[in-house]
């Protein structure tokens, strides 16, 4: 057992585990390029550092210079007839070209003038003369050498196919700590003991405590499971081997199991280490499930992983970590004690967690003074950390499009609408009849949200086509909600049926625009009967079915209730829907004036805020037509474009049914 604060023992080969291994005695690939570069630099330097070129004179001028006594000697090249020498008066070199060969008369002339003529015949370099002969052979040999190297590298890739593909992060670059993980205090507190074990193993050994061999991070996508695993490695200061489940799968049989063996062997060489497998459900699915049995290669990989986890002792200092958002499909043998025996749930962030996450993502962005992180956190119910990061980026993009230097609160509101409801389809043109029907449809939703006591505050209603919907009515709850009462479920059904009943009341028709409304209302009513025990006739019984994951389970599975019970469930679901429809119709008729005012406001301005809708409802009861005209005339353009509402109207997580907005296709 290593002492406290000691570093992991180095691998046997003495190299850093992050560095790729290479054969001893072989030259690196870049050696040849370095040699070529050095030779080129030397040749260039020699050429640049050479003596300046001498002045060229013609042969007649040379004879004149010699006759005047300005030339004492020169050298005549018998091969090229080139003459080189120096003047007597200024010592400057010169060159000239004489006849070839030099005539006897000229030789006598130069002798009479006192010029010493030296004749030389330069010898050709033997090796330079061989270059033209051997150059083609060198090119051919180089080509075959290059082909051989490529084949060798390909064969090496085939032979190393069983090596694991894990990325190793050593103690030199942990990169991430718990300070980089915003929020999730309970998750970090639960996983801290893994860090304590890796930092202070003696403390656990003295008591005889055994740390869990495997820690499984479970949570929806985007909640930061991989980030938390990296933070554990950074806090513990031990090597961190990261690999995804799909890295074990290849077309060759047995490759996955070989990579698992190599992964654990590499971890053992490091001493204390963390092995992190992301998306473990890709190789950890239930064995033998599904039509026709499971995937043999995947099952072999899982079997090898189970054997390796049983093979090393808990005191070796190797901790397995994995992440998945589908724990229900994992093999039971993978989750038993002694393997992944601890599950750490990483849920969607709560209000305080969202505030901290938004603080991290807005830290390096220019924010205006009107941006309130608390307000934004309350208005982003049910968003994961990845969603919040995307929200901040979308707000910054809106600011850039408008030419702003800082991000304002309205940009966050526009970004939230973009994320939740989709992109506005300005190119979609509706005729007046369809536009009027859409206005009354959305007005019906908004009215039901406004007149029901205790219902979630209305945020905005619009008839601008957004995403796949022709209009959207959006409500936001006041506070975090983790359960739902029967009255709340009934109010949601009434609100969902408001659009359909408004069309029927005003136009005496029913359109296909209520398809999504009916789907949501039916889903809530059925869950009230089958899951939440809110039906007196069915009683406190649950008939919920999460749905089989595998086709084979679905074919072999049977319903856990009789046909008679199924008929009762259908009758109770229908009764709840009809009762809520009757309640909706009564509220609609009692507030017909408010319905007309809201529809009129939507036709004039296309978008109304929740505060404006509430004032229109109040005017319909206690005001006059002049009051309504004044209110609709003073609707600000900022509100029609999605301006932020009061902080009291913005909220937090979605309800258990996951409905945050009422959209109508």
Rounded CA separation 551/224 (Å):
31
DSSP state of 102: P
Positive or negative: CA dihedral 383, 388, 391, 395: positive
Are the CB atoms for 329 and 286 separated by under 8 Å?
yes
What SS3 state is found at 420?
A: helix
SS (H, E, C) 382-438: CCCHHHHHHHHHHHHHHHHHCCCCCECHHHHHHHHHHHHHCCECCCCCCCHHHHHHH
Question: Which residue, among 355, 325, 223, has the nearest Cα to 652 in the 3D structure?
Answer: 355
Rounded CA separation 157/146 (Å):
17
Residue 442 annotated as catalytic: yes
Residue showing tokens 């060159």? 95
Q: What is the chain's length?
A: 665
Return all residues near 12 (Cβ < 8 A) that are at least 6 apart.
269
Are the CB atoms for 323 and 317 separated by under 8 Å?
no
Q: At what angle do helices 498-507 and 486-496 cross, to 10 degrees?
A: 40
Cβ neighbour number for residue 222 with a 10 Å cutoff: 16
Cβ neighbour number for residue 552 with a 10 Å cutoff: 16
Residue showing tokens 């889903």? 523
Rounded CA separation 16/371 (Å):
47
Rounded CA separation 213/192 (Å):
14
Tokens of 531: 């899951």
Catalytic residue among 65, 442, 490, 649: 442
Rounded CA separation 199/181 (Å):
20
Are the CB atoms for 17 and 170 separated by under 8 Å?
yes
Q: At what angle do helices 432-451 and 486-496 cross, to 10 degrees?
A: 160
Q: DSSP H helical segments within 480-609, as ranges?
A: 486-496, 498-507, 515-530, 551-556, 563-590, 592-605
Are the CB atoms for 271 and 317 separated by under 8 Å?
yes
Catalytic (active-site) positions: 442
């Amino acid at each position: 057992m290593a002492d406290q604060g000691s570093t992991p023992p180095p691998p046997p080969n003495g190299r850093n585990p992050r560095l790729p291994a290479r054969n001893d005695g072989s030259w690196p690939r870049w050696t040849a390029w370095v040699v070529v570069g050095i030779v080129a630099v030397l040749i260039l330097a020699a050429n640049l550092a050479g003596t300046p070129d001498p002045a060229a004179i013609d042969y007649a001028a040379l004879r004149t210079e010699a006759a005047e006594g300005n030339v004492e000697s020169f050298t005549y090249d018998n091969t090229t007839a080139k003459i080189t020498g120096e003047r007597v008066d200024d010592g400057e070199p010169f060159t000239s070209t004489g006849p070839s060969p030099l005539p006897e008369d000229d030789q006598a002339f130069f002798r009479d003038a006192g010029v010493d003529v030296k004749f030389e015949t330069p010898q050709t370099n033997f090796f330079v003369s061989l270059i033209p002969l051997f150059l083609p052979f060198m090119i051919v040999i180089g080509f075959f050498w290059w082909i051989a190297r490529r084949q060798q590298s390909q064969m090496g890739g085939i032979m190393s196919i069983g090596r694991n593909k894990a990325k190793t992060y050593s103690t030199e670059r942990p990169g991430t700590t718990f300070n980089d993980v915003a929020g999730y205090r309970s998750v970090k507190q639960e996983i801290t003991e893994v860090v304590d074990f890796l930092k202070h193993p003696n403390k656990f050994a003295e008591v005889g405590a055994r740390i869990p061999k495997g820690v499984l991070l479970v949570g929806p996508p985007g909640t930061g499971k991989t980030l938390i695993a990296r933070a554990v490695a950074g806090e513990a200061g031990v090597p961190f081997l990261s690999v995804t489940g799909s890295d074990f799968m290849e077309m060759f049989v047995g490759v996955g199991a070989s990579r698992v063996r190599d992964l654990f062997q590499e971890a053992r060489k490091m001493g204390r280490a963390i092995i992190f497998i992301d998306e473990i459900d890709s190789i950890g699915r239930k064995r033998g499930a599904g039509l026709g049995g499971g995937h043999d290669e995947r099952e072999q990989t899982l079997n090898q992983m189970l054997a390796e986890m049983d093979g090393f002792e808990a005191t070796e200092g190797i901790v397995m970590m994995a992440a998945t958002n589908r724990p229900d499909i994992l093999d039971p043998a993978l989750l038993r004690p002694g393997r992944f025996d601890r599950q750490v749930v990483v849920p969607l962030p709560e209000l305080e967690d969202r505030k901290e996450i938004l603080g991290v993502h807005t830290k390096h962005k220019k924010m205006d003074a009107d941006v309130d992180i608390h307000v934004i956190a309350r208005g982003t119910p049910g968003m994961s950390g990845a969603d919040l990061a995307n929200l901040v980026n979308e707000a910054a993009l809106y600011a850039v499009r408008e030419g702003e230097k800082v991000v304002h609160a309205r940009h966050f509101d526009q970004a939230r609408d973009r994320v939740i409801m989709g992109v506005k389809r300005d190119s979609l043109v509706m005729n007046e009849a369809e536009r009027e029907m859409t206005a009354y449809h959305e007005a019906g939703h908004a009215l039901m949200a406004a007149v029901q006591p205790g219902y979630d505050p209305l945020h905005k209603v619009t008839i601008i086509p957004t995403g796949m919907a022709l209009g959207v009515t959006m409500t936001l709850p006041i506070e975090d909600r983790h359960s739902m009462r029967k009255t709340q479920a009934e109010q949601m059904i009434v609100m969902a049926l408001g659009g359909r009943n408004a069309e029927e009341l005003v136009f005496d028709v029913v359109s296909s625009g209520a398809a999504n409304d009916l789907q949501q209302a039916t889903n809530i009513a059925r869950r009230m009967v089958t899951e939440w025990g809110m039906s007196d006739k069915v009683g406190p019984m649950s008939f919920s079915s999460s749905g089989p994951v595998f086709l084979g389970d679905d074919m072999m599975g049977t319903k856990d209730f009789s046909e008679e019970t199924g008929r009762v469930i259908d009758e109770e679901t229908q009764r709840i829907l009809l009762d809520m429809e009757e309640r909706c119709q009564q509220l609609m008729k009692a507030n017909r004036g408010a319905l007309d005012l809201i529809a009129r406001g939507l036709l004039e301005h296309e978008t109304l805020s929740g505060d404006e809708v509430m004032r229109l409802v109040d005017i319909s009861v206690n005001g006059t037509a002049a009051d309504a005209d004044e209110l609709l005339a003073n609707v600000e353009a900022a509100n029609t474009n999605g301006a932020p509402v009061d902080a009291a109207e913005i909220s937090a997580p979605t309800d258990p049914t996951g409905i945050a907005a009422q959209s109508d296709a």
